[in-house]
Amino acid sequence: MVNLKDSRLQLTLLGSLGVLSGLIIRNSSEQLKITGDFKTVDSFLSVYVAPVVFVVGWAIIAYSVALPRSAKGLIGKFPLDRKTIQAFVAVIGIVVSIYQMRQSIATGVQTNMIYPSMYVAGWLLLGHTVGSRYGYLSSLLALLATILVLPFQRANCIVDGPGMPMLTIAFVMLAYANSQ
Task: Give the DSSP per-residue string, 49-70.
Answer: IHHHHHHHHHHHHHHHHHS-TT
- The pLDDT tens digits for 105-158 are 888 888 889 999 999 999 999 999 998 899 999 999 999 999 999 989 888 888
For residues 136 and 127, the answer to whether their CB atoms sit within 8 Å is yes
For residues 91 and 122, the answer to whether their CB atoms sit within 8 Å is yes
For residues 9 and 176, the answer to whether their CB atoms sit within 8 Å is yes
Given a cut of 80, is residue 43 above it in pLDDT? Answer: no
Distance of CA 95 to the CA centre of its chain: 8
30-34 average pLDDT score: 66
The reported pTM is 0.87
Given a cut of 70, is residue 50 above it in pLDDT? Answer: yes
Distance of CA 147 to the CA centre of its chain: 13
C-alpha–C-alpha distance, residues 164 and 101, integer Å: 19
pLDDT of residue 71: 55
